[in-house]
Amino acid sequence: MADEGLNRIGAMLEELSSRFELVVEAVSGFGGKVDKLKDEIFGQFAEVGSQIRFISDQIGENRNGVTALRSDFSAEMVRLNEWLGKTRVEFRDQFASSEANLRGAISSHTNGAAVEAAPQLDSDVGRDVVESLRKLSAEIKQANKAVSNLSRKFERFDDRMTVQVKDQDQRLKKIESGSRRR
């Protein structure tokens, strides 16, 4: 009977050993799946990191573009203001000169010739004023055109930014949906 008990214990140990081998085999299969899942998660983190770096680079480039655009716009505005100021000064100088010439001609001529010279100077002053106004009008048109061009450039830049941000959002959503499905 003692031998019978020992034989039973031996058979039970052999059975436990074979079951333990099955458990070890199953666990090692899970270990491979866990390693694969771990590698996939690290890959996803690396992808998200590269996307964040890409977005950060794009933001930096866009900031540089906006800064350059602001600088160009500011320089153009300064140039236009200087141009308009110069035109105003020239107009005032021409007007003052024409007025002084007219007064001088009137005071130096006291006879009928002075009266004829005065309408002539008057028409000269009128032509000078008209010419100055034409120049000023042309310069204002050029300034408006420059401001319009800058405005269009800024709108195109803004449109490109909007498209880039939407594209990036779509890429991130695609990555997120791909990681959820797995």
The model's pTM is: 0.39
The length of the chain is 182
Mean pLDDT of 89-103: 79
Range scoring the smallest mean pLDDT among 17-26, 78-87, 124-133, 150-159: 124-133
Closest CA to 175 of 66, 46, 59: 46
pLDDT band, residue 110 (cuts 50/70/90): low
Note whether 129 and 95 are within 8 A (CB). Answer: yes
Inter-residue long-range contacts of 102-111, CB under 8 Å, 24+ positions, other chains counted: none
Mean pLDDT of 97-121: 63
pLDDT band, residue 107 (cuts 50/70/90): low
pLDDT at 50: 87
pLDDT at residue 105 greater than cutoff 70 = no
Closest CA to 69 of 131, 6, 161, 142: 161
Tens digit of each residue's pLDDT (9 = 90 or more) over 56-89: 888 888 888 888 888 888 888 888 888 888 888 8
> Considering Cα of 88, then 89, then 90, then 91, what sign does the dihedral take?
positive
Identify which has the larger pLDDT, 126 or 50.
Answer: 50
Distance CA 30, CA 157 (A): 53
pLDDT at residue 104 greater than cutoff 80 = no
pLDDT at residue 177 greater than cutoff 70 = yes
